[in-house]
Structure formats: C-alpha cells, structure tokens
C-alpha cells in the first residue's frame, strides 16, 4: 500500500517547476497534480486514456467536447479517451488531482 500526503505532493509540485507532476504510476492507473495559475492557459491535448479530475482549489470554466461548465473545489470531472478538453477563464489558481486509466502514455 502507498499513501500520499497532498501537502507534500503540492510542495514537490512547486519544486518541480512544471504544471503537471505525476506521483503514482502502476500499469492500470497514473495519478498526478496539475496546477494552472489564474489567467493561465491550459495547453493539453486529448489523451489516449480515460481521465478523471478532482478540483482541489480554484475556479475556472471547463470544456469537454461540446459541453462547458464552471468548476470549483470539490468538482469531479470525467473525460473519455480522445475527447478534446481544457480549462479556461481561470479566475483563481487551479489545483487538480488527475487520474488516468490505464496509466498515461504521453
């Protein structure tokens, strides 16, 4: 069993100096922390894996396919593999836990 302290993961993310930090990988799943600043741009592209986001902090709009919705702490979002998606109009620093199944390949 592995256990992770979110505060420690957030500290490690800050030290890494990039938007996404993976902190768990097994063949069937990978998990990371994705942080976008207020006013930032989400440059991601569709993934080959199903994806779940859990919004830890922040506010933004999220578009997946033809759907758009506001997101705030506590929101859980599912995106099927291959679907175009991104966060935009980020009004408060966005901190997201990201789950890929199977583990992200890209």
Residue 17 within any structural domain of the chain: yes
Cis bond upstream, residue 46 (ω within 30): no
Stretch 81-99: mean pLDDT: 98
Q: Tell me how many domains the chain contains.
A: 1
29-36/67-71 β-pairing:
unpaired
Cis bond upstream, residue 29 (ω within 30): no
Cα-flanking dihedrals φ and ψ of residue 37, to 5°? -75, 160
* Model confidence pLDDT, tens digit, residues 53-86: 999 999 999 999 999 999 999 999 999 999 999 9
Residue 38 within any structural domain of the chain: yes
Q: How far apart are CA 5 and CA 32, in angstroms?
A: 13
Residue 1 within any structural domain of the chain: no
Residue 106 within any structural domain of the chain: no
Cα-flanking dihedrals φ and ψ of residue 48, to 5°? -80, -5
Stretch 26-35: mean pLDDT: 97
Residue 73 within any structural domain of the chain: yes
Q: What is the CATH number of the domain that holds 20?
A: 2.60.120.10
pTM (2 d.p.): 0.94
Residue 79 within any structural domain of the chain: yes
In which domain, by residue range, is 94 found? 6-101
In the predicted model, what is the mean pLDDT of the chain?
Answer: 96
């Amino acid at each position: 069993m592995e256990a992770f302290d979110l505060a420690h993961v957030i500290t490690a993310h800050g030290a890494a100096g990039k938007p996404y930090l993976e902190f768990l990988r097994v063949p069937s799943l990978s998990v990371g922390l994705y942080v976008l600043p207020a006013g930032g741009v989400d440059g991601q592209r569709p993934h080959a894996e199903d994806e779940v986001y859990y919004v830890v902090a922040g506010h933004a709009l999220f578009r997946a396919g033809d759907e758009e919705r506001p997101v705030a702490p506590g929101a859980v979002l599912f995106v099927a593999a291959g679907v175009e998606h991104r966060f935009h109009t980020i009004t408060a620093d966005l901190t997201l836990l990201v789950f890929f199944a199977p583990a992200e390949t890209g």
